[in-house]
Structure 1
């Protein structure tokens, strides 16, 4: 087993395959039951490669969560760029964002799997909750965008992080509840209704008067 000073960065493609396989196995089996052998077989790599890249199962688990969260945050930032952009039509932009994000939340097996995994293992790995856990990066990205909209006079936002948390909950909270965290498929009309309603409530609170 490799020590911390001997870990290799290795091939990006191989690391991505290991992370995908590890997430699949950890979600299916839980941390305690998951084996490095099963992860290696699923990824199509040797067990030695996993040890060379990550050291041990615990570090692999934490790296899998961290790297998956980073990927999801980067995708969320692209979604913000595509939907909110310069936001000349504030309500239309936020509805487009809410609909797209709610659809991703409702229909992304990876996002739902990661959230269920972190909830299941947080008691054993409190570091999973550092910096906001699975949603910390997306909340900060959304807060930055809301702060920009406030600076342009389109929103009245005293605390961007709080406003981002409210918008996130309003857009995704009922989607999580109605879909049982990605277990039940929601149709487009239901997602549209839930997301639009959330944005309407948000704007009632944060639109300048």
Structure 2
């Protein structure tokens, strides 16, 4: 599985990857065709193959690009809320709310993620592993690093930052994700905030450092 060397103009490649994101999100990996992607991009199928050797290569490319973009957004939210914590509970809630909004309002990016989850058994294992590592796993690693820093500051008691990141995500995000079918069905903002607050309170019962004195 290898790209054909990047032949062709950058704007054509961008049109193809945008179209592929749309088509894979709409049709899924198995049903999507290079013909449909070419038509969506407004280019010939030959042009698609000038840029990408096969459907698997194109799917991997758009999956990784979409994961990297969303992971970057979440990383910025971590910087905003978890780098200079003043009110630990509120900052954890605000981060949870904004992360949920970022993930679940991702448009075609979100549709691609839903397609991956729906067709996990049909997606090549190396593609799935690369997508996970660039997206969900990368965000968990970033969050674990933040929690380790908060533990060093005496705000949390964390023996396993990776486990803490997983538990925080389960408590504050996955309920919203499942209820929305990963962004396909809207969830009211007040419900997103409620789930985040309840989840953070449960998380802090486990991990908040004891008050001094």
Structure-2-length-normalised TM-score: 0.87
- Structure 1: segments with no counterpart, 5+ residues: none
CA contact (8 A) 1:95 1:196 kept: yes
Alpha-carbon deviation of 1:13?
4.7
The 1-side partners of 2:203 and 2:11 are apart by 41
Residue 163 of structure 1 corresponds to which residue in structure 2?
A: 164
CA contact (8 A) 1:146 1:157 kept: yes
CA contact (8 A) 2:154 2:209 kept: yes
Mark the CA change 1:8 to 1:179 in structure 2 (over 3 Å): closer, same or farther. same
Alpha-carbon deviation of 1:105?
3.1
The 2-side partners of 1:6 and 1:174 are apart by 42
Structure 2 residue aligned with 1:115, among 113, 116, 135? 113
CA contact (8 A) 1:153 1:208 kept: yes
CA contact (8 A) 2:103 2:183 kept: yes
CA contact (8 A) 2:60 2:131 kept: no
Mark the CA change 1:152 to 1:132 in structure 2 (over 3 Å): closer, same or farther. farther
User: Greater CA deviation, 131-140 or 95-104?
Assistant: 131-140
Structure-1-length-normalised TM-score: 0.88
CA contact (8 A) 1:19 1:68 kept: no
Structure 1 consecutive aligned stretches of length 4 or more whose deviation exceeds 6 Å: none
- In the TM superposition, 1:16-31 aligns within 5 A as 16-31=14-29
Q: Figure out how many residues of one structure are paired with residues of the other and give that number.
A: 207
Query: Is structure 2 residue 125 aligned with structure 1 residue 126?
Result: yes
**Higher helix fraction (1 or 2):** 1
Structure 2 residue aligned with 1:55, among 11, 29, 53? 53
CA contact (8 A) 1:147 1:157 kept: yes
- In the TM superposition, 1:58-207 aligns within 5 A as 58-124=56-122, 125-130=124-129, 133=132, 134-207=135-208
Mark the CA change 1:28 to 1:56 in structure 2 (over 3 Å): closer, same or farther. same
